[in-house]
Amino acid sequence: MEVAVLSIQGKDTGRKTELDQSVFGIEPSQHAIYLDVKQHLANRRQGTHKAKERAEIAGSTRKIKRQKGTGTARAGSIKNPLFRGGGRVFGPTPRDYSQKVNKKVKRLARRSALSVKAAEQAIIVVEDFNFEAPKTKAYADVLQALGVADKKSLLVLNANENNVYLSSRNLPKAQVTTKDELNTYGISNANTLILSESAVASITSILKQ
C-alpha cells in the first residue's frame, strides 16, 4: 500500500512511502487489541487507594451498651462498621494492578491496530520536521494544514524531537510519541495517526516478522 508523503503545510511532496502489508495490512485480531489495551490501562493505575477497616480506626474498644435488654442489635464497640465513624467493611487496600501480556501478543496487537487505521484510511505520512523553538501555534498550524485540528491525533516521530513534543502539550486532542513508545492504546484512541516519513520504516522493522 503506497501513501503520499505530505509536507507540514499539507501539500504533496511528490514522494510516496510503502506501508508494509505484514504490518499495516493484516487481518486484525480484536482480542489481541483488547488484551493489550486492558494491560496498558491497568498498568497506569497507581493502586494506592486505602480505607481504614475496623482494627485501624482510632477509638475505644469498650462495649458501648449491655448485650441484652436494649431492644436493639448488640454492639461490641464504637468502631463497629454500622456506626458513623466506624471502620469500613472490606475497604480498598493498596495493590498492584499490573498485568502481563506476552511479547508476541503485544506485537500482534500493535500490527492489528495499525491495520485497522490503514483500512479506515486514517493514516497520514508527513516529512520529517522539527521546530526551532517550542510554540503551540506552530504545531496547531501543522494540524490545521493536515485537516485534523478538530480530531484526536497521534503524531509518531522516529526520534525524540523535544520542541515538537513541547509544542503539542497544550492541545488537548493532540498527542506526540516516538516509535519506541508507540502502543496499542495510543493508536486505537486516536482518530488520525500521523507518521513521520522516517518513522514508517522504523515501525515496520520493529513489528515485521
Q: Flag whether 156 is in a domain.
A: yes
How much is the pLDDT for 34? 97
Q: Flag whether 136 is in a domain.
A: yes
How much is the pLDDT for 133? 93
Q: How far apart are CA 143 and CA 9, in angstroms?
A: 9
Cβ count within 10 A of residue 87: 18
Same domain (yes/no): 110, 123 = yes
Same domain (yes/no): 90, 8 = no
Q: Flag whether 187 is in a domain.
A: yes
Listed residues 80, 96, 112: the one ending a domain = 96
Residue 167 contacts by C-beta under 8 Å, 6 or more apart in sequence?
131, 134, 135, 136, 138, 139
Q: Flag whether 35 is in a domain.
A: no
Same domain (yes/no): 15, 107 = yes
Angle at 13 between CA 157 and CA 164, to 5 degrees: 25
Q: Flag whether 39 is in a domain.
A: no
Q: Are 105 and 32 in contact (CB under 8 A)?
A: yes
Same domain (yes/no): 82, 57 = yes
Same domain (yes/no): 135, 79 = no
CATH number at residue 202: 3.40.1370.10
Q: Flag whether 38 is in a domain.
A: no
Pairing of strands 12-18, 2-6: antiparallel
Residue 165 contacts by C-beta under 8 Å, 6 or more apart in sequence?
176
Half-sphere exposure in the Cβ direction for 160 (13 Å, CA): 4
The domain total for the chain is 2
Q: Flag whether 36 is in a domain.
A: no
Same domain (yes/no): 118, 202 = yes
Listed residues 57, 75, 96: the one ending a domain = 96
Same domain (yes/no): 87, 167 = no
Q: Flag whether 71 is in a domain.
A: yes
**Residue found under cell 456506626:** 83
How much is the pLDDT for 10? 87
One-letter amino acid for residue 43 of the chain:
N
pLDDT by 10s per residue, the chain, length 209: 788 899 999 898 888 898 999 999 999 999 999 999 999 999 999 999 999 999 999 988 899 999 999 999 999 899 999 999 999 999 999 999 999 999 999 999 999 999 999 999 999 999 999 999 999 999 999 999 999 999 999 999 998 889 999 999 999 999 999 999 999 999 999 999 999 999 999 999 999 86
Per the structure, the complete domain to which residue 79 belongs is given by 46-96
Q: How far apart are CA 126 and CA 141, in angstroms?
A: 14
β-bridge mates for residue 174, sequence order = 153
> What are the distances in angstroms from CA 155 to CA 165, 174, 203?
9, 8, 13
Same domain (yes/no): 116, 202 = yes
Same domain (yes/no): 85, 14 = no
Same domain (yes/no): 19, 121 = yes
Same domain (yes/no): 119, 17 = yes
Same domain (yes/no): 61, 111 = no
How much is the pLDDT for 2? 85
pLDDT digits (tens, 9 = 90+) for 12-34: 888 889 899 999 999 999 999 99
How much is the pLDDT for 36? 97
